[in-house]
Structure 1
Amino acid sequence: MIPDIEKASKEKIKALQEDKLQELLSYLQTHSAYYQDVFKKHQIDIKTITSLEDLTQIPVTTKDDLQKHNDAFLCVPKHKIIDYVTTSGTLGDPVTFALTDADLERLAYNEAISFACAGVKETDVLQLMTTIDRRFMAGLAYFLGVRKLGAGIIRVGAGIPELQWDSILKFKPTYLIAVPSFLLKLIEYAKQHDIDINSSGVKGAICIGESLRNQDFSLNTLAEKITSQWHIDLYSTYASTEMNTAFTECEAQQGGHHHPELIIAEILGDDNTPVTPGNVGELTITTLGVEGMPLLRFKTGDMVKAHTDACSCGRNTMRLGPLVGRKKQMIKYKGTTLYPPAMDNILNDFNEVLSYVIEISHNDIGTDEICIKIAASNPDETLLSKIKDHFRAKLRVSPKIEFHDKKTIQAIQFPAMSRKPILVIDKRA
């Protein structure tokens, strides 16, 4: 189930995107109060925007813009809205997105081709281990995508290893949709209850929310911990509510594939122009075919690298490498630039570390400080010394580390109304 456009030449892909860009600009000019103001304020004649390169003539849209002018982005009357979702609010106040019936159909198409990208077929059964409620787009998208693909789905929801294993053993799903670290909890539960995980029939997991790979696409520590015990394939996905689209790995597992019929992707530097090929920049997206709340040059805040070499799966689309980090969570610590994912990888090296939270703050002189709060199985000076030494070896610096009990860390990770664990708390102004 590879759409023809994703196997087409780069020239044909570009031509399709430019045609769809024209349609989007016309739609925004007619229906979007926010972008009408942008075009007027910056004296932009949309007829002059004819190529992807011309996009740089249009100002970027930021998360602040979305938060301040949320309702002005809506392009349809209220009676056409079928579903409301909100962003997680990781880096600010949550933003509401309104989806029409056509948007839900587009969301289903996106997830169906994304699952197919990872090798899922209509004969497969998937077990959903994320919430489908709480205004969460991802769980709904997964359900709609599996249904469109024609596969089966078991909606278990988040947590509860006992119920997850009861469902796995009863319904024999072939794929799981889960946060990677939760797979470790399933492995631990299976060990305690004499469940043979490698005869369970599960052959793969579609993973969300946490990175599985290093920048060279090798498995990171977390993924190695999982696959060393459970012999399943792990597939990374990257998506956000604002994008209404996912970048999912194919079976070659060399980055998340771009669906050019659904989204335009730019990798921008601080000057809001494209970085030179092979460099890290901020993913900036333009949604195609969205009816309710389309976005034009929206800066996601996520730092990534694009890969454009040919993929063995037959797709000619750009691929996104593993997330380097969120731009707002970049830390300058004792002269070293860090992103939280680099610290995740180090902490995942220690089996003794049960859970953790990374807190970033400013000290009295305004420079960045890091405090990592850890729940450990044996919180002693020996473990503390080992962790600090590992940080120095890998990142050249060692942050402040505190041991806390598991309940304390869990309370920080799962505040009221949370839909997924919070591992980074940024207290900087």
Structure 2
Amino acid sequence: MIPDIEHASQTEIKAFQVDKLKTLLEYLNTHSVFYKRLFRTHQIDIKNINTLEDLTAIPTTTKDDLQLYNDDFMCVPKNKIIDYVTTSGTLGEPVIFGLTDNDLERLAYNEAISFACAGIGTNDVIQLMTTIDRRFMAGLAYFLGARKLGAGIIRVGNGIPELQWDSILKFKPTYIIAVPSFLLKLIEYAKQHNIDPNTSGIKGAICIGEPLRHQDFSLNTLSEKIKQDWNIELFSTYASTEMNTAFTECSQQQGGHEHPELIITEILDDNNLPVSEGEAGELTITTLGLEGMPLLRFKTGDIVKAHNTPCNCGRNTTRLGPVIGRKKQMIKYKGTTIYPPAMHNVLNDFSEVDSYVIELSHNSIGTDEILIKIATAEPTDILLQNIKNHFRAKLRVLPKIEFCNKKDIQKLQFPKMSRKPVMVIDKRK
């Protein structure tokens, strides 16, 4: 189920996307209150946009725009909207997205070709370990995608290791979709109940929400810990509600593949200009084929690197490397620039760490401070010193670290209305 365009040359892919872009611009100029206003205000003649490079003539769109003018982005009347979803609201107020019947079909297509990219086929059964309710797009996408692909699906939902293992042993799924750190909890439960994960029939896991690899695509600490006890293939996937599209790894596991019929990607610097080849920048996306709420040059807030060399799987599409961090969560700490994922990787080295949250704040002189709150069954001075030494060695900085009660950490991680654990609490103004 690999679309022909993914095997086309870069020149053919660009030409294909330009045609799709022109259709989108006409659509926005007719149906979008926000973009009609944007074109008028900046005196943009959409007929002058004839290449992907011409996109730089159009101002970018940000999350602030979505939050301030949410209704102005809607391109269809209310009676055409079949499903409502919202963003997670990690960095502000959640944004409402309305999906038409065609948008739901597009969502299913996106996930079906993403599963196929990871090698899942019609003979496979997928166990879904994420929520499908709470206005969450991802869980719905997985269900619709598996259905379109023709694979079986077991909707267990998130958490509850006992129920997950009961379902694995009963229904014999071949793939699971889960947050990777939850796989460690499944391994722990299996050890306690004499279950051998390696005889369970699971071939691989589609992992969401947390990075699996370093920038050179080698396994990070979290992935290594999983594979020590459960020798399954781990596939990284990157997506967001705003994109309505996923970037999933193929068998080569060298970054998530772009689907050029669904999205145009740009990697931009602080001046909203394309970065040089191989440099990191902010992922900026233009969605193709959406009816309800398409976006043009939307800045995701995620810092990534693009890889444009042909992949050994045969695709010639752009691949995205692991997310380096969120632009708004960049920390300037004692002369060093760091992002939370780097701290996650350090903490994942310690099996004694049950859970944690990273709190960011400003001190009295307005510079960044980091406080890491850790829950552990062994809150010893030796463990604390080992963690501190590890931070110095890996990141060359030492944040403040304190041990806390596990229940207190859980309250911080799962505030009211949350759909996924909150690992970073940013109190900076």
Shared fold (TM-score, shorter chain, > 0.5): yes
Give the 3-state SS of the residue equivalent to 1:228 in structure 2.
Answer: helix
Query: Which residue does the alignment assign to 2:389?
Result: 389
Residue-by-residue CA offset, 1:339-382 (whole Å, 9 max, x unaligned)? 00000000000011110000000000000000000001211111
What do you get for the CA RMSD once the two structures are aligned? 0.4
Cα distance in 1 between the residues matched to 2:248 and 2:76: 30
Moved over 6 A (4+): none
Query: Deviation of residue 117 (structure 1)?
Result: 0.3
Aligned-pair identity (%): 77
Amino acid at match of 2:187: I
Query: Deviation of residue 126 (structure 1)?
Result: 0.2
Query: Which residue does the alignment assign to 2:94?
Result: 94
Cα distance in 2 between the residues matched to 1:202 and 1:255: 22
Give the 3-state SS of the residue equivalent to 1:355 in structure 2.
Answer: strand
Query: Which residue does the alignment assign to 1:159?
Result: 159
Cα distance in 2 between the residues matched to 1:417 and 1:39: 37
Cα distance in 1 between the residues matched to 2:197 and 2:33: 54
Query: Which residue does the alignment assign to 2:417?
Result: 417
User: What is the correspondence of 1:259-274 to structure 2 with a 5 Å cutoff?
Assistant: 259-274=259-274
Give the 3-state SS of the residue equivalent to 2:387 in structure 1.
Answer: helix
Give the 3-state SS of the residue equivalent to 2:173 in structure 1.
Answer: coil
Query: Deviation of residue 406 (structure 1)?
Result: 1.1
Residue-by-residue CA offset, 1:276-296 (whole Å, 9 max, x unaligned)? 000000000000000000000
Query: Which residue does the alignment assign to 1:174?
Result: 174
Give the 3-state SS of the residue equivalent to 2:66 in structure 1.
Answer: helix
Amino acid at match of 1:73: F
Cα distance in 1 between the residues matched to 2:397 and 2:8: 47
Cα distance in 2 between the residues matched to 1:103 and 1:158: 25
Cα distance in 2 between the residues matched to 1:384 and 1:334: 21
Cα distance in 2 between the residues matched to 1:377 and 1:249: 36
2:58 is the alignment partner of 1:58? yes
Query: Which residue does the alignment assign to 1:426?
Result: 426
Give the 3-state SS of the residue equivalent to 1:75 in structure 2.
Answer: coil
Amino acid at match of 1:339: Y
2:108 is the alignment partner of 1:111? no
Cα distance in 2 between the residues matched to 1:350 and 1:4: 45
Residue-by-residue CA offset, 1:371-428 (whole Å, 9 max, x unaligned)? 0000012111111110011000011110000101111111110111110000001000
2:379 is the alignment partner of 1:373? no
Cα distance in 2 between the residues matched to 1:398 and 1:118: 38
Query: Which residue does the alignment assign to 2:283?
Result: 283
Amino acid at match of 1:204: G
Amino acid at match of 1:167: S
Query: Which residue does the alignment assign to 2:196?
Result: 196
User: What is the correspondence of 1:252-263 to structure 2 with a 5 Å cutoff?
Assistant: 252-263=252-263
User: What is the correspondence of 1:131-142 to structure 2 with a 5 Å cutoff?
Assistant: 131-142=131-142
User: What is the correspondence of 1:319-334 to structure 2 with a 5 Å cutoff?
Assistant: 319-334=319-334
Query: Deviation of residue 71 (structure 1)?
Result: 0.2
Query: Which residue does the alignment assign to 1:304?
Result: 304
Cα distance in 1 between the residues matched to 2:234 and 2:138: 18
Query: Which residue does the alignment assign to 1:121?
Result: 121
Query: Which residue does the alignment assign to 1:33?
Result: 33
2:313 is the alignment partner of 1:313? yes
Q: Where does the alignment leave 5 or more consecutive residues of structure 2 unmatched? A: none
| TM-score, with structure 1 as normaliser | 1.00
Residue-by-residue CA offset, 1:221-279 (whole Å, 9 max, x unaligned)? 00000011001000000000000000000010000000000000000000001000000
Residue-by-residue CA offset, 1:315-350 (whole Å, 9 max, x unaligned)? 000100000000000000000000000000000000
Amino acid at match of 2:319: R
Q: How many residues align?
A: 429
Amino acid at match of 1:34: F
Cα distance in 2 between the residues matched to 1:251 and 1:146: 18
Cα distance in 2 between the residues matched to 1:336 and 1:76: 47
Amino acid at match of 2:352: E
Cα distance in 2 between the residues matched to 1:369 and 1:107: 40
Cα distance in 1 between the residues matched to 2:119 and 2:410: 35
Cα distance in 1 between the residues matched to 2:262 and 2:286: 9
Give the 3-state SS of the residue equivalent to 1:134 in structure 2.
Answer: coil
Query: Which residue does the alignment assign to 1:46?
Result: 46
Give the 3-state SS of the residue equivalent to 2:229 in structure 1.
Answer: coil
